[in-house]
Amino acid sequence: MNKVHTESLDVRGQVCPSTLLLTLREVNRLKDALHNGTTLLEVRTDNRHATVTIPNTVKSMGLAVRVHKEEQGYLIQIGAEKD
Amino acid sequence: MTGGKQGEELAAEVAVDVLTPAALRAEVTRLREENAALRRRDADMVAYLRAKIDQLLAVIGTVPLRAEELDDAELVAFDPINIIAGAFVQILESQRHTNEQLRAARDEITAIFNSVGAGIMVLDTNQKILSFNHRLKELFFPAAHRVTGQTCIDILCRASAPPEGCVYHKVLASGHVETTQAWPFDDRYFDVIGAPVKDKKGAVTQVITVYTEVTKRKQAEDALLLALDEAFAAQELIEAVLRSVREGLLVTDETGRILIANPALLEMFSEQRTRVVGLSLATLFPDSTLAERFAEALASGVPGEPFDVRLEGVAPRSLQVRLALLRTANDTVRGGVVTLHDVTRERAIEQMKSDFVSTAAHELRTPLTAILGFSELLLDTTEFSADQRREFTGMIHSKAEDLAGIIDELLDITRIESGREIDLSLEAVRIDELAVASVDFFRHSDNRHRFEVSLSQQPLLVYADPRRIGQVFDNLISNAVKYSPAGGSIHVTLGAEGSFCAIAISDEGIGMSAEQIERVFDKFYRADASNSAVPGTGLGMTIVRQLVERHGGTIQVSSLPGHGTTIRFTLPLCTEGKDT
């Protein structure tokens, strides 16, 4: 099993739509690596609205999303969909 | 290059562009207006950008971008449109990929839909057919030109109301998957499954019905059920026959292993069916030749003649065995049937009859010898005195009476045997007088026993044939005398018990065992058959019971070996009507 590279994006302090736009910019940048499953993007946010907008958008882009509640905000993991 | 030279050249250039103050003011004004126009255009451009960005953000489901969050200069540098466009490219790619998958899935489903062996139909909630597969058309309307849009009740059931077991209506009613097994349609049968398609609110919007033809299976099931019914009926018939057969009956396979045992046989062995079925004949009849004969019959194909086997045990029995062979259609022996008829009683009677012949011959011979002897004396010799001749004649008469008595018994028993009743000449009779007369006879002819008669204070009047009741007393007292040792007492007691006269005759003789008591009324039975010194035919008690019962009475025997015997019998007392 190939090791998956993890990229991090911290958008804490930002609110929507900035959190979404910053996340999408990273997703665009890492597009191929995210779709082929070699990279996992971890987004940290403390904006609750972002836990809805980010997953909705990246899911429609064909990516898989998981949201975890952390002590200071949320961790949103974005990666390739599994077959 | 010097500094003075440079200043001169510059002054010359400026001198060329030097404007008049008015021209300069006009140029400044123009430049200001041009700058304002540029600023307005920039502001419009940024406003347009913000509007478009907000529009795009709304499409992806988030809030508008506030100016304080990103000023105009940062907005241009951040370039949200480019970001969103990049996201849209991915969304479109994902959509395209999804569409490809959906198309493939649709093609796959269509292929399955049309190649599946079951007929499938999709209906809306108004019974209209929305789609159907090839198999459904083949099954139900091969010649129909238009199916889609028609209602199932018109095109399929062709009825005014839904048929019984209609899965479509069951699904609409329940909202769940429903099934109907062996749904009859046009002389065919179908297993039908109905499944609902629901909207987001859970309301049924469509019903998918799947029809699998099971006509052959149903026919096979029906045939099987019919065959089972017939098999059960045949089995019940066989069991009824087996139950009704009074003989014990065993069916075995070709090895002699028991397959069937009827209730009569199980009763013979006091066994349960499960403990007999599966046994071999040799195990069930260990001490007999039955298994051997059965094997011989199987080997030779000839069942042979009936034969007896003896079952030892608490109550030994004689069984007559008949063998029969079970043959298949091609005449192969596949087993046998063993019929067991309990002939214990018949064999005992045969033995008793055999004993009786010798007893009767002996009984007839004894008085006959005396008659012959005394008559020869009288014929051959004339020297006897008149008293002697009278005595001899009396002896001949007495022995002739004995002979007559034996012959009477034989005639009575012949009557009983043939089912004819003994004729009675009924009249009101003093039973106590009959008893006393009989006792007196024995008292005078036998001085070895003591006779005691206990009578009721009142005369006892019965409605009876005096000769026959006298015969009863004679028989019973005679037995008491025969089976009592010399010096023993014989008691005769008479008394009224309700509407009956109860008579008891007791002795202090050898008594009888329970088995002897049980058989004491049997024809030809003699309790002490081994003792030929005691005269008797073995018929007396049979006749006594017949006579008592013919008079409407009952008779019982109680006895203990070594402690004597008491015979009690009753006769109806004479009522006033009968008395007169």
Q: What is the pLDDT of residue B1?
A: 43
- Burial class (CB within 10 angstroms; exposed 0-12, middle 13-18, buried 19+) of B162: middle
DSSP summary character for residue A4: P
Q: Which helix (H) or strand (E) is B287 found in, with range?
A: none
Question: Taking CA atoms, what residue in A is nearest to B66?
Answer: A17
Contact of A41 with chain B, judged by CB distance below 8 Å, is answered with: no
Q: What is the pLDDT of residue B158?
A: 79
Q: Select from B380, B550, B543, B430 the least CA-distant residue to B476.
A: B543
- Minimal C-alpha gap between A12 and chain B (Å): 14
Q: How far is CA B365 from the centre of its chain?
A: 64
> Around A64, how many Cα atoms within 13 Å sit in the side-chain half-sphere?
11
What's the count of helices (H) and strands (E) in chain B, helices before strands?
19, 17
**Distance (Å, rounded) from C-alpha B54 to C-alpha B334?**
97
Q: What is the pLDDT of residue B104?
A: 94
Reported pTM: 0.42
Q: What is the pLDDT of residue B332?
A: 84
Q: What is the mean pLDDT of residues B182-192?
A: 88
Mean pLDDT, chain B, rounded, equals 85
Q: What pLDDT band is residue B9 in, cutting at 50, 70 and 90? A: low
- Collect all residues with Cβ–Cβ distance below 8 Å to B266 and sequence separation of at least 6: B272, B273, B276
Strand order in the sheet with B204-213: B129-132, B119-124, B204-213, B188-198, B178-185
- CA B393-B394-B395 angle, to 5 degrees, is 90
Q: How far is CA B130 from the centre of its chain?
A: 53
Contacts of B62 in chain A (CB under 8 A): 16-17, 20, 49, 53, 57
Probe site for chain A from B90, B98, B100 (most A CB atoms < 10 A): B90
Q: Could you tell me what percentage of chain A is helix, strand and coil, using 3-state DSSP and rounding each to the nearest 5?
A: 35, 35, 30
Probe site for chain B from A14, A23, A28 (most B CB atoms < 10 A): A28
Contacts of A60 in chain B (CB under 8 A): 91, 94-95
Q: What is the pLDDT of residue B16?
A: 55
Least confident of B209-213, B313-317, B437-441, B480-484: B313-317
Query: What count of other Cβ atoms lies within 10 Å of the Cβ of residue B152?
Result: 21
What's the count of helices (H) and strands (E) in chain A, helices before strands?
3, 4
**pLDDT surpassing 60 at residue B220:** yes
DSSP summary character for residue B328: -
* Segment B240-277, tens digit of pLDDT: 888 888 888 988 998 889 988 888 888 888 877 778 88
State the distance between the two ends of chain A, measured CA to CA, in whole angstroms.
15
Q: What is the mean pLDDT of residues A8-18?
A: 90
**Inter-residue contact B491 to B454 (CB < 8 Å):** yes
Q: Which two tokens stand for residue B237?
A: 């018939």
**Inter-residue contact A20 to B60 (CB < 8 Å):** yes
Q: What is the mean pLDDT of residues B63-75?
A: 83
* Interface confidence (ipTM) of the complex: 0.91
Query: What count of other Cβ atoms lies within 10 Å of the Cβ of residue B483?
Result: 22
Q: What pLDDT band is residue B580 in, cutting at 50, 70 and 90? A: very low
Q: What is the pLDDT of residue B579?
A: 42
Q: What is the pLDDT of residue B2?
A: 46
Nearest CB neighbour to B87, from listed A16, A49, A57: A57
Q: What is the pLDDT of residue B405?
A: 78
DSSP summary character for residue B137: H
**Distance (Å, rounded) from C-alpha B355 to C-alpha B123?**
97
Nearest CB neighbour to B87, from listed A16, A28, A52: A28
Q: What is the pLDDT of residue B530?
A: 56
**pLDDT surpassing 80 at residue B216:** yes
Provide residues of B within 8 Å CB-CB of chain A.
Answer: 57, 60-65, 69-70, 78, 80, 83-84, 86-87, 90-91, 93-95, 97-98
**Distance (Å, rounded) from C-alpha B425 to C-alpha B465?**
5
Q: What pLDDT band is residue B28 in, cutting at 50, 70 and 90? A: very high
**pLDDT surpassing 70 at residue B528:** no
Contacts of A17 in chain B (CB under 8 A): 57, 62-65
